[in-house]
Amino acid sequence: MAENAQTMAARETHGVAASITEHVEELQSGAVALRRKLHEWPETGNVLPRTREAVLESLADLPLDITLHETTSGIGALLTGGKPGPTVMLRGDMDALPMPEDTGLDFASRVDNVMHACGHDTHTSMLATAARLLSERRADLPGRVLFMFQPGEEGHHGARFMLEEGLLDVPALADGTPSPVTAAYAIHISTNLPCGWVSSKGGPIMASSDTFEIVVTGKGGHASEPFRARDPIPVACEIVQAIQMHITRRINVFDPSVVTVTQIHTGTTSNVIPETARINGTIRAVSESTRKKVHDGLKRVAVGIAETHEMSADVNVTIGYPVTVNDAPSADFGMSVADALVGADKAVRLPHPIMGAEDFSYVLNKLPGAMMFLGGTPEGVNPATAAPNHSNRVMFDEDAMKTGVALYASLAMRSLGVRLD
């Protein structure tokens, strides 16, 4: 009963999205067609010519002011409503991952070792479809909607490049009235939620992501005489273990970090002690203070252990994405819209952040807004056992895209003060 009451309260505030969901049904076949086209021809990084062409083709007949970014394949598409007002931004990322696909889908990737394994093909299609839906309701919009089609989310800082190129420099309306971007929302599909469910939270929602390399330098020699050498291999192993000890004993469990060593490279053959050993991995945290503490601790632990064994350690941390921090009122607003759209029983407030990272963090460092998650588990599959995002076997239920399109459109409309009924 409490969930029903919550849903009813949300619909009292936002309206009932029946007409929006009906509108989405009419657009679903086009959304699926675009998604499958993108899935068959995935591209990685910041330069996505085929993807950009497909998106532009899908938007060609809409009343949008298009800006093609020059440093990346990013697209900014601005819809101006029939009445003056502020601008709300919606983001969809477009890039794929450098990995094989083993789904067996009829529209599986045709590009060797490139796959849309994180659902960005669905994000792009949902955003383009929301642009069509909102364009058909343009006269009712008191303000504007900026659609951010972004490349390079998978570690290439595409959002940062689009911001640096002036994405948010939205011109004034024709009469000179300012129309600044006042809020930004992004949706990310996931197989760890049932199809059509929505989740989010205020505050930190996704971790920072940095990479590190530690080079331990000793002295090479013959494998039969380790005392005449300085063997970096056991020292590298000791450093790996000490890093885990450092995290569990020096980092607050309620302000966590995850440090994962993913590679150790050393040696050339069985009877040679090498001079160097390289350790690589990632650092994730959900606050900037813990992030810095881990960076400093990593260097201190590695250098200290190496010096104990009369060796040296060079530690290099490459800064990646910041912590993704949802503006609390924006997240509450977004989840209330979700309550009205899908029902409070399918709109889940997350209890804690997710340790993955997102370059939408750059946007949220400049604007109030929120990252929201959309369930896409295939029908009949348990979310707990479904192939996860970034798996070579991950599949998403395309019916989830209906919810995604409706949520994008509803977030824009409600941010501009338009009721969902």
- Active-site residues: which are they? 321, 398
Could you give the CA distance from residue 258 to residue 261 in angstroms, rounded to a whole number?
Answer: 10
Contact 95/45 with Cβ under 8 angstroms? yes
Could you give the CA distance from residue 333 to residue 10 in angstroms, rounded to a whole number?
Answer: 10
Contact 130/58 with Cβ under 8 angstroms? no
Hey, which residues does 66 pair with through a beta bridge? 77
The upper half-sphere exposure of residue 269, i.e. CA atoms within 13 Å in the direction of its Cβ, equals: 4
Could you give the CA distance from residue 127 to residue 330 in angstroms, rounded to a whole number?
Answer: 19
Residue 387: DSSP 8-state: P
Contact 193/374 with Cβ under 8 angstroms? yes
What is the four-CA torsion angle of 299, 302, 306, 311, rounded to 10 degrees? Answer: -50
Contact 208/314 with Cβ under 8 angstroms? no
Best CA proximity match to 201, nearest among 323, 333, 92: 333
The phi and psi torsions of 105 (rounded to 5 degrees) equal: -65, 150
Q: How far is the CA of 308 from the CAs of 229, 231, 238, 304, in angstroms?
A: 15, 13, 11, 6
- Measured at the CA of 392, the angle between CA 32 and CA 96, to 5 degrees, comes to 55
Sorted by sequence, the CB contacts under 8 Å of residue 282 that are 6+ apart come out as 209, 210, 211, 212, 258, 259, 260, 262
Contact 277/233 with Cβ under 8 angstroms? yes
Q: Which residue has the tokens 């789904």?
A: 103
What tokens does 185 get?
A: 């929302």
